[in-house]
Structure 1
Amino acid sequence: MNPINEQASARKQRSLKTRAKLLAAASDVFIEYGFQKTTISQIIKKAETGYGTAYLHFTGKDDILIQLMDEVMKQFYAIAQMTFTPRSKEEASAMIEKQAGLFLEMANQERAMMQVIEEGIRLSEEVNQKWKEIREQFILHISQDIIYSQQNGLARKDVDHTLIARGWFFANEMYLWDIVRNEYNHPVDEIARNLTAIYTGGLYVE
């Protein structure tokens, strides 16, 4: 590697390190103070960087939270993208129940940051728009699973896969926020089992 490329690589590594440092600091500050009370100054102080450096990476605290949302959602997306190739209604039900349970349990594990995200959705149009985009990604994955089931004779073909996918996601989303707020009174696996029974009972055929 020539000296110019080495310098460019070193600058890039420093930049990535600074960005990661800012995100880690922001996560701590958001969780401690909440979205509304957090200031960019607190994040910069926690990260031990300067204003100019911080604004090279992010436009403000809304942008930082959106980047943190992307990081958290990677774990949720991994669940949504689990292989779905059932050969029977029973196999489909088992897979769906497992996904629903993992999805809701992830909300439980990430409760602190999800509480910040929920507050951000209420207070920031940018964050709210980001959540809408995330929601559509989940609905797309669900819709693809329904199409697979319809094409393989497992699910009813007289229903619109997109409408059903939206309904299924919204049911899960409602419980996700209940879990985040610690307002649920049943174990996660029981919620997943009951949700799945209603969903698959109406969509899948014997």
Structure 2
Amino acid sequence: MKRQQKAQQTRQKIVAAAYDVFLQNGFQKTTITQIIKQANIGYGTAYVYFQNKDEIFIDIMEDVMQKFYAIAEMPFAPKTKGEAVHLIHHQVRLFLELAVQEKALLRVMKEAIGISSIAAKTWKHIRERFIARIAEDVAYSQKNGLANCHLQPQLVARGWFYANEMYMWELTEPSVPFSLEEAALHLTEMYTNGVYS
């Protein structure tokens, strides 16, 4: 048990060190050697836990996305369209606020997704998890007579997530031509007016 605990601590030490190095250097310029130096561990130790920097970054990526999942998985059981609009606006706002809080890491994520096949594959998996969750909310709203029944929940969810994702990435840029409030309002209005009866 003690051995297992030590191994877990070492793994966490590597990931924490990597987080700092990735934020400082970006994805492409980060090396395993820099991470090892930052973690202050033996050279071979990192390779006991990870094959390469991509695998370390996936741990970081999935960890930060847990915070976004927590927002996506908030209870959603509106009784009226007005209640649905309020809940959706609240979720969108929290999602975008978190994007702004985590923008330094999201910038590195965007870079990683563009150059690492492992990061791109992981992002695709993350996306699908969000889409599946949104589709459940759409199906709930349709079942309860709040949303248009002729729409396919999966397709609605896909479009809705892509719109949120686009604003999420834009809010990580140094210069953004809109406020977070404007983004949340427009996203909510476009979505709810199109989907909810």
- Band the TM-score falls in, shorter-chain normalisation: over 0.9
1:158 is the counterpart of 2:116: no
Identity of aligned residues (%): 50
Q: Where does 1:1-206 land on structure 2 (aligned, <5 Å)?
A: 9-205=1-197
The code of the aligned residue for 2:83 comes to: E
**What's the offset of the Cα at 1:64?**
0.5
| Superposition TM-score, scaled by structure 2 size | 0.98
Instruction: Give distance in 2, aligned partners of 1:140 and 1:181.
Output: 28
SS, match of residue 68 in structure 1? helix
- The size of the alignment, in residue pairs, is 197
Unaligned runs of 5+ in 2: none
Unaligned runs of 5+ in 1: 1-8
**What's the offset of the Cα at 1:46?**
0.4
- CA change 1:183–1:166 in 2 (3 A) is farther
**Bigger shift: residues 52-61 or 31-40:** 52-61
TM-superposition CA deviations, 1:30-75 (whole Å, max 9, x none)? 0000000000000001001122211111111000010101110010
Instruction: Give distance in 2, aligned partners of 1:70 and 1:202.
Output: 32
Alignment RMSD: 0.8
Is the radius of gyration larger for structure 1 or structure 2?
1
Specify the alignment match of 1:4 in structure 2: none
